[in-house]
Amino acid sequence: MKALVFDHFGGPEVLEYRDIPDPEVSAGHVIVRMKVIGLNFADIYRRKGNYHLKGTPPYILGYEGAGVIEQVGPGVSGLSTGDRIAFADVPFANAELVSVPVDKVIPLPGDISFEQASAVLLQGLTAHYLVHDSYPVQSGEEVLVHAAAGGVGQLLTQLCKAKGARVFGLTSSEAKKKVALEAGADEVMLYNEKWTKAVLARSTDGGGVHVAYDSVGSTLMDSFAVVRTRGAVVFYGMSGGDPQPVDPRMLMDTSKTLTGGDLWNHVTTWEDRVRRAEALFEEIRAGRIRLGEPPRFGLYEGAEAHRFLESRKSTGKILLIP
């Protein structure tokens, strides 16, 4: 089969599209012929050597995608050759064929395309636990979403709006501000403006937002500054660097809450993964999640796709097509 591989860590130029052996079917697994693969920043971190990679060279990136079952391993029930499936956390996905454990398989309904599944699952599952588990957003509340034009940010905005919240977004450019507004944010500020004052001034009674979803990290104390008394900051990423230490006395004096977030601490069973995925699919059907038209690259154009993602010019999901 063909796969996007690399033998040593480095820039996009280390990626090669070449033949490698097909994966062998094993007990409790199915072999999936990939139709669409989702590209994520984690793939860049792994290519650079910042994240752990399983196995030995040649390394294969990719953890998310959708396709059709081609072989069914021993001991597998309820799945058949030809079934459409998707997954969000299976390694070696940047290939024509992928071995998928049955507990990671998400059945794909006929009205959800391979492209939609690959564009929504990883970021969508993240947004889903953030608005339901980390802080259950309620109708009428005010929410601040960092990096509102990014993949998670756009979905987070749309899920908060579906719950009846008012959403303030933060972006780094006018172009991204437009994207965040199109995703449904009520107001969007730029990071290079005095956004903390703007959020406080535009919030109801000037008291601040009920919750801030912070994926930047270095902005954590500013997030606390715009959260109202008894509000919460959900910290789930460090795209802008490590946050400052938080003084527990400040939390006590203001009755504010800090909580951390990691997707795989919330999605721990096959049943929960499928339940949350179905909830996302229903949001798509109802038109409450709009995915737009994500950029597509051939899998053989993987290096170019990585360069595009690293350029920060993209505002949503990037798809790779085998």
What DSSP string describes 199-248?
Answer: HHHHSGGGS-EEEEEE-SSTTHHHHHHHEEEEEEEEE---TT-PPPPPPH
Angle at which helices 270-285 and 151-162 pack, to 10 degrees?
A: 70
| pLDDT confidence of residue 118 | 97
| pLDDT confidence of residue 84 | 98
| pLDDT confidence of residue 314 | 73
Q: What is the pTM of this model?
A: 0.93
Cβ partners under 8 Å of residue 37, min gap 6? 62, 64, 65, 93, 94, 118, 299, 319, 320, 321, 322
| pLDDT confidence of residue 228 | 97
Please state, in angstroms and as integers, the Cα–Cα distance from residue 70 to each residue in 38, 187, 283, following that order.
Answer: 20, 47, 29
Contact call for residues 1 and 20 (beta carbons, < 8 A): yes
Give the Cα separation of 33 and 16 in Å (integer): 20
Burial class (CB in 10 A: 0-12, 13-18, 19+), 233: buried
**Ordered mean pLDDT values, 10 residues apiece, the chain (322 residues):** 96 97 97 97 90 84 97 96 97 97 97 97 97 97 96 96 98 94 97 96 95 96 97 93 92 96 93 97 96 93 95 83 97
Domains of the chain and CATH, by start: 2-108+292-321 (3.90.180.10), 125-264 (3.40.50.720)
Single-letter residue type at 74: P
Strand 142-145 with 166-171, pairing: parallel
CA-angle at 274, arms to 99 and 152, nearest 5°: 90
| pLDDT confidence of residue 56 | 84
Burial class (CB in 10 A: 0-12, 13-18, 19+), 68: middle
Cβ partners under 8 Å of residue 298, min gap 6? 320, 321
- Among 215, 204, 126, residue whose Cα is nearest residue 165: 204
Q: Is the peptide bond before 58 cis (omega within 30 degrees of 0)?
A: yes
| pLDDT confidence of residue 293 | 86
Give the Cα separation of 303 and 164 in Å (integer): 41
